[in-house]
Amino acid sequence: MKTSEIKLGVNIDHCATLREARYRNNHNINAKIIEPNLVEMALAAEEAGSDGITIHLREDRRHIQVDDVWQIRESIQTRLNLEMAPTDEMIEFAKNIKPAFVCLVPENRQEITTEGGLDIVSHKERIRTVISEMKTAGIKTSLFIDPHPQQIEMAAELQSPFIELHTGSFANAYYDSDLKYKELEKLCNAAKIAHEFGIVVNAGHGINYTNISEVKNIPWLYELNIGHSIVSRSLSVGMHAAVTEMKKLIKG
């Protein structure tokens, strides 16, 4: 899918990271004073033009908690994109929460290719089951995968409606100009292959206010999911301004 404007999903996990730095195991102290308030941050992102809110409920609950997912789901006006590991527990949780999207991500060692996306080639039957169960529940699945043709072909075989290309290797290589362009080329090729299969292409991880100028030129992008850089910028200028700036760079 190509729209005139690439959409922006704001990942607010790191707002929860900051909260947990102080309040882990002490959420009942007094709900009013617990900060930062995730719903407030999500609503500020939306007000500034975010097209969706992304959160990752991890098995170790290191940042987002179950209550956060419910509260955000009930408060936002846009779309909730729930990142999750393809576990039985998370499948049941997603069916109850009913986000617009789930994005399947690796969480533990047997689910990852080295520092990369979900290895859907090795776990194809598991992923097939999750996509099918989500579809029955009216939830669209995205797969967070490395930009390797083999992974894209498997996403097509599994009839995943969306993928999210892992931009981490590109972001890490950003200051090595040879490597950077190799990584960018992999992303561009992967996006083209996915598009030819009719898969909608998202991308995310490590995207910031500098590398966005190149990331946004990956063909056929539907949505970018950006977390750390926006949350970090929000500490200086506030969430509304941080999202406004990123939207401007995406459009520019």
Burial of 152-182, coded b for 16+ CB within 10 Å and e otherwise, reads: bebbbebebbbbbbbbbbbbebbeeeeebee
CA 187, CA 181: separation in Å to the nearest integer?
Answer: 10
151, 206, 234, 250: which one contacts ligand PXP (CB under 6 A)? 206
46, 51, 68, 83: which one contacts ligand PXP (CB under 6 A)? 83
180, 205, 240, 247: which one contacts ligand PXP (CB under 6 A)? 205
Question: Quick check: 225 binds ligand PXP (CB under 6 A)?
Answer: yes
Burial label for 236, CB within 10 Å (0-12, 13-18, 19+), is exposed
Q: Are 82 and 102 in contact (CB under 8 A)?
A: yes
How many helices and strands in the chain, by DSSP H and E?
11, 8
Question: Quick check: 102 binds ligand PXP (CB under 6 A)?
Answer: no
Residue placing its CB nearer to ligand PXP in the complex, 9 or 29:
9
Please pick, among 46, 83, 164, 223, the residue that the annotation labels catalytic: 83
Residue placing its CB nearer to ligand PXP in the complex, 64 or 154:
64
To ligand PXP, the closest distance from the beta carbon of 144 in angstroms equals: 4
Please pick, among 63, 123, 166, 205, the residue that the annotation labels catalytic: 205
Name the residue type at position 116.
G
Complete DSSP assignment for 114-163: TTSSB-TTTTHHHHHHHHHHHHHTT-EEEEEE-S-HHHHHHHHHTT-SEE
123 is catalytic: no
Please pick, among 56, 63, 166, 240, the residue that the annotation labels catalytic: 56
7, 160, 227, 250: which one contacts ligand PXP (CB under 6 A)? 227
15, 130, 207, 239: which one contacts ligand PXP (CB under 6 A)? 207
195 is catalytic: no
- Which bin fits 115, alpha (ψ -120 to 50), beta or left (φ > 0)? left
Burial label for 67, CB within 10 Å (0-12, 13-18, 19+), is exposed
Give the range of 67-75, 188-196, 204-212, 238-246 binding ligand PXP by CB under 6 A. 204-212
| Residues in Cβ contact with 38 at an 8 Å cutoff, skipping those fewer than 6 apart | 12, 15, 16, 19, 64, 68, 71, 72
58, 128, 135, 228: which one contacts ligand PXP (CB under 6 A)? 228
Residue 240 three-state SS: helix
Give the range of 174-182, 200-208, 210-218, 236-244 binding ligand PXP by CB under 6 A. 200-208
Residue 46 three-state SS: helix
- Residues of span 144-173 touching ligand PXP by CB under 6 A: 144, 164
228 is catalytic: no
- Residues of span 12-51 touching ligand PXP by CB under 6 A: none
Q: Which residues bind ligand PXP (CB under 6 A)?
A: 11, 56, 83, 103, 105, 144, 164, 204-207, 225-229
What amino acid positions are annotated as catalytic residues? 56, 83, 205
